[in-house]
Amino acid sequence: MQANPYVPFLPPHHQHAASLAPQSTWWRWHGHRVHIARAPEPGAPARVLLVHGAGGHSGALWPIAALVASRGIDISAVDLPLYGRTRSPDPAAVRYDTWVDLLIDLVEAGRDHRPLVILGASIGGLLAYEVAARSPHVAAVAATCLLDPGNLHARAHMTRAGALGVLGGPLSVLARGGLARTMVSMSAVANLRRMSRDRALSRLCSIDPRGGAARVPLGFLASYLRFTHTPPERNRTPVTLLHPGRDAWTPIELSARVLSRAAGPADLVILRECGHFPVEDPGLTELVDAVAGLARRLGSQGAASEVVQARRCPATLMVDPAGLEPTTDAV
């Protein structure tokens, strides 16, 4: 198997664990063939679903996922339509709403008895938080960024042309007609040169055909800018903001404003020395510690709840359909 080109950008002492190869699986959803990279751990107390942002994909983020997996956590990373190895019947028709709906259904399809944490990177952070607001099956969200596209300052940092690009450029007219299906490279729109403190990593992201060099419809960009996210004041899902401390793309204060409005439990961890793509230590280790710790705490709480429930309800005798032997299952 070809080595992951993103692994060498991690600190040397992390690279062995980060080189874990994922299991590639596929999920059919409304004509899309969705690729999901996995490191299954059936005995793990909780599950983590990693969601990329614009210009990202599961392969780019997998080295970080592999580090979480090395802590004994069950983790998956999805390729959203337009990115990675996912294939769509009509890429020009993909909208931000497509991402939201897909993730809600994926959470439902993959649920088991364990709590689920969604880890969102870049704009995947607010996307994860939105999915949690709409799904009862998300126990918590961790996000490297909570960038609200409805905020003009946030828009200015997202695009290559700053505020002028948002207000007076092509992103403002995008697309309610034929222009909506026009495909453009993400690297031509997003400020990918600020993806990392390492110029070589920023360049890799910008030329990656599964990431920054992927082509997206103008209608997708317009739908993202126009999307009305659930106000944080109405979202009670616990959220942890794991913000890179030296992010040159999305200033921490933009995400902190959203976090401060959260209705549910909210925590902030500053990832020391990390750029927008968090590969530097000590922040990278802090990210992995935080995600693995959150998953374990949720798993412990879930196990405790199951014990209490089992004590309250007597076991029910369930007879094996083949009549071989009885098994017990708590109601």
Domain ranges of the chain: 7-160+228-330
Please count the other Cβ atoms lying within 10 Å of the Cβ belonging to residue 213: 16
The predicted pLDDT at position 189 comes to: 83
Q: What is the mean pLDDT of residues 256-278?
A: 98
215-255 per-position pLDDT tens digit: 999 999 999 989 999 999 999 999 999 999 999 999 999 99
Q: 7-160+228-330 falls under which CATH superfamily?
A: Alpha/Beta hydrolase fold, catalytic domain (3.40.50.1820)
pLDDT at 25 over 90: yes
Q: What number is the average pLDDT over the span 276-297?
A: 98
What pLDDT, on the 0 to 100 scale, is given for residue 275? 98
Predicted model pTM: 0.89
Query: Tell me: the pLDDT tens digits for 165-218?
Result: 443 345 545 456 778 999 999 888 888 889 999 999 999 999 999 999 999 999
Q: How confident is the model at residue 330 (pLDDT cuts 50, 70, 90)?
A: very low
